[in-house]
Structure 1
């Protein structure tokens, strides 16, 4: 198996998804507290601006790679990565609404279960893409 930018992107994204789900389950309420008090504190943390810039760079770099690497179906990951602008723009421009959404999700077991199942499913899809497509 030969690795390229898109396979690494798949594996890194899948790892983040799986690791955060494991931490959420094992830490329980401590995760919720950390997320709402530290990661998404009431005053918008500086890291959000850094993530915004890094996120936009990753999107641009991914599209650059689509047109410069000869990797079949690379556009699929480029589109998926581009969809992260939805979360980035919510974090950057509608932080209070995003924070409220995060709080409601963290404090609703049914929503958390749906979120965790979705993230794990997407992580498995990314692993499959990294192994079989890229």
Structure 2
């Protein structure tokens, strides 16, 4: 029961959210980490808050992507995070271009070309 929220928005509630001059955040609820960002352009995007950072799940689109689907996806992501997976892996972000992976690739290339271990250290 730790992941329950007092807020529990439905599709009709999200449709009624007013557009303002600045982006604002509203808790969707169940799980408590699920939020919706409402932008001045009128876009409404579901976000998952994990480790004080927000990760985009998908945009709210009437009859295409609903609150129920966002909840299902959020719960699936949270279960994978609890099992020890990395958020970038779960969200399908290309880890090839993370700094640590680029660095490791660079070092492997240098080792192939005959650079000494003492130089790398």
**Could you state the TM-score of these two structures normalised by the residue count of structure 1?**
0.27
Q: Who wins on radius of gyration, i.e. which is larger?
A: 2
RCO comparison, higher one (Cα < 8 Å, 6+): 1
Q: Which has the higher helix share?
A: 1
More strand by share: 2
